[in-house]
A = this chain, B = another copy of it.
Amino acid sequence: MATLNDVAKLANVSKMTVSRVINHPDKVTDDLKELVYQAMRETNYHPNVAAKALVNNRTQIIKFLILEDLDITEPYYMKLLVGIAMDLSKQQFSLQLVIPDNIDIGDCDGYIITGMRHKDLDWIQDLKKPVVIFGENHYDLDFVDVDNKKGTMEATRYALEEGYEHFVFIGIDMDEAFEYSREAGYMEFLQERQMAPEIYRMANHSHSGSEFIQAHIDQFEPNTCFICASDRLGLGIERGLQACHKQIPDQYGVIGFDGVFLHQIASPRLTTVKQPEVEMGSAIAQMIVDKVNQNNIPQGHKLFAPELVPSESTR
């Protein structure tokens, strides 16, 4: 591998000039810059990450902490991870995956955390390195998330446009910001139209959705659309309706949330609110790298517009 020195010799300048061309190009004349760029191309120069890390007292490592139970979330993070990993490597950072039962050893330059709950606030605030959260929160922690409220709002609007007359929200019984936002989007849309919301909350499992429907099917008139807080619940609702011999999408509609894998394997395929996972991953990566480079200054938050993907579970 070519080093700074090789480039410097070829360009007939000092290592320092080459280094400056890379890190402070404004402090070098254009002539020299051209020379150096040329030499870099000829030698196929790529900076040595270890050396850079050493001299900057960095590790070039970002840790990705998944605080949720993997058995539940398994498919969810794969694409997010891809988005994060792609962007981090472009910036010469690598990723370390950390899950709870994996004692966290070794240093890093920053953390990306997902699945954060209230109880985690204390130790997260005590972390000495920059942190970015995936998932909205009200703690002044920088975060990236999908616009949950907008998602359910559009889902409800879509259900209305497709001619359903009743709208029931199937939520997750968790005391977390994303759930409140999803409920809020649904409620706000209905209230603007003088309609009363109807919300049920349950554990985020397909079987809870299925059992719930079978136990309460009498309460739900035909032409009802179920807006669900997750595809997993949506899948369960579909199953429950099928067990009751109801027609989807004619008699009942179902809309999920996430658009991560599960909606594809549902039958009928689930209309869902799809999250732009890869882009969100990139954004998180960008945010944590910026934060590392800018001395841990706050970055605020970024909400991504979800996309309603119509499929077979609605008309």
- On whether the beta carbons of B97 and A81 are closer than 8 Å, the reply is yes
Please indicate the chain B residues that have their CB under 8 angstroms from the CB of A1 in the complex. Answer: 107
**Contacts known (A95-B95, A105-B90); A70 close to B74, Cβ less than 8 A:** no
- On whether the beta carbons of B89 and A106 are closer than 8 Å, the reply is yes
Task: Give Cα distance in the complex from A235 to B53, angstroms.
Answer: 48
Task: Give Cα distance in the complex from A260 to B260, angstroms.
Answer: 15
Whether A99 sits at the interface, judged by CB under 8 Å, is: yes
Task: Give Cα distance in the complex from A74 to B74, angstroms.
Answer: 9
Q: Size band of the A side of the interface?
A: 35 or more
Please indicate the chain B residues that have their CB under 8 angstroms from the CB of A251 in the complex. Answer: none
Whether A51 sits at the interface, judged by CB under 8 Å, is: yes
The number of times this chain is found in the oligomer is 2
- On whether the beta carbons of B232 and A265 are closer than 8 Å, the reply is yes
Task: Give Cα distance in the complex from A267 to B214, angstroms.
Answer: 15
- On whether the beta carbons of B82 and A97 are closer than 8 Å, the reply is yes
**A31-39, A54-62, A118-126, A218-226: which lies at the B interface?**
A54-62
Report A54 CB to chain B, min CB distance, Å: 4
Task: Give Cα distance in the complex from A207 to B1, angstroms.
Answer: 50
**A12-20, A22-30, A42-50, A168-176: which lies at the B interface?**
A42-50
- On whether the beta carbons of B92 and A94 are closer than 8 Å, the reply is no
Closest to A52 in B: B50
Report A306 CB to chain B, min CB distance, Å: 18
Whether A79 sits at the interface, judged by CB under 8 Å, is: yes
Report A217 CB to chain B, min CB distance, Å: 17
Using a CB–CB cutoff of 8 Å, the interface residues on chain A facing chain B are 1, 46, 48-51, 53-54, 58-61, 70-71, 74-75, 77-79, 81-82, 85-86, 89-90, 92, 94-99, 102, 105-107, 206-207, 210, 232, 235, 239, 260-262, 264-265, 267
The 5 closest A-B pairs by CB, nearest first: A75-B75, A85-B97, A50-B53, A94-B94, A50-B54
Q: 6 A–B contact pairs at CB < 8 A? A: A46-B105, A50-B51, A74-B261, A90-B105, A95-B95, A239-B267
